[in-house]
Structure 1
Amino acid sequence: MIERVLGQILFTSRWLLAPFYLVLAFCLFGLLVKMVLVFVEESHHLLHATETDTIVSVLTFIDLALTGSLLVMVMLSGYENFVSRLDHANHKDWPVWMGQVDFSGLKLKLMSSIVAISAIELLRAFMSVDETSNRDLAWYAGIHLTFVVSALILAFTDRLNGHHKTAEK
């Protein structure tokens, strides 16, 4: 009986994660506000901006969009994987990937997004190479390579784990 009660308490405690995902929704709203503020600021300088400045501005928007997509992915997949299934029967525009991203897939998508965001930051640094020190460029490149290698190792170990599960069947 104690084991059953303890199991029920532990199973129910998964709902403690729900506020975390709600906070991510608020973060998404905050990111939207930041995007609008950056857009307003950048639009004032658009007519006088150089090509490089325009590209850096566009990269900033791409960076914010990728970060927002990452938030949505973690928020919805995490909720569905760890808290409760979402009812999508009445949603015609339900994303195809929802309900199909398990924890392993979420980790890989998360790492892929981090690598993409890191690549944008690195590209942004290289676009203003005259204003960036060699030391800073080296750090950007090193951090990006660390993310790339980490993603590759994660994908490789995940693939090995998947083949191992297939071999057990």
Structure 2
Amino acid sequence: MAPFYLLMVGALCMLLVKFAQESWHIATHTITMTESEAVLGVLSLIDITLTGNLLLMVLFAGYENFVSKMDVDDHEDRPDWMGKVDFAGLKLKLVASIVAISGINLLKNFMALDAADITDGREKQLMWMVIIHLVFIVSGVMLAFMDRIVAATHRH
């Protein structure tokens, strides 16, 4: 599994490049942007950041759960959740991150929608995005409910 996690670090670097690209684009076009374009640009940065956070959670928690414990002891910069997130907790954090990313993506597409898009059929695409987002939410709630049932069963 270690090579997979090493390649995930590469994916994180790719996200950093895309974040820098988007930041540069926003910085160089701020004066000419409309308010809506500025908000969409910032939402893109948030989207990339949340995806990076998701990747970091999978990277650290997965590495610690499936490869080896990281020897960082009680270093002041160590995240509180590190070493405490089991597979069930990781699943819930992943689903929560996916729901947040989906919500931001849905908001970006909604804000980019204009009257011409409605006649082109983009409203159907937006409808499917809402449905998929709701499926993510329902899946997350069901996953949390199942984990709660399993935890209650172990107490008996």
TM-score (norm 2): 0.93
> In the alignment, which residue of structure 2 is the partner of 1:96?
80
1:116 is aligned, of 100, 122, 133, to 100
Quick check: 1:129 aligned with 2:113? yes
Q: Within 2, Cα distance between the matches of 1:151 and 1:126?
A: 23
- Give 2:93's aligned amino acid: K
The offset of 1:129, in angstroms, is 2.0
Quick check: 1:151 aligned with 2:125? no
Q: Gapped runs of 5+ residues in structure 2?
A: none
Give every structure 1 segment of 4 or more consecutive aligned residues whose post-TM-superposition deviation is greater than 2 Å: 89-92
Query: What secondary structure does 1:148 align onto?
Result: helix
The offset of 1:48, in angstroms, is 1.2
User: Higher mean Cα deviation, 92-101 or 126-135?
Assistant: 126-135
- Give 2:5's aligned amino acid: Y
Q: Gapped runs of 5+ residues in structure 1?
A: 1-16
> In the alignment, which residue of structure 2 is the partner of 1:140?
129
Query: RMSD of the TM alignment (CA)?
Result: 1.1
Aligned residue pair count:
151
> In the alignment, which residue of structure 1 is the partner of 2:7?
23
Query: What secondary structure does 1:109 align onto?
Result: helix
Q: Within 2, Cα distance between the matches of 1:48 and 1:136?
A: 29
Q: Percent identity?
A: 48
Quick check: 1:45 aligned with 2:34? no
Q: Within 2, Cα distance between the matches of 1:90 and 1:19?
A: 27
Query: What secondary structure does 1:48 align onto?
Result: coil
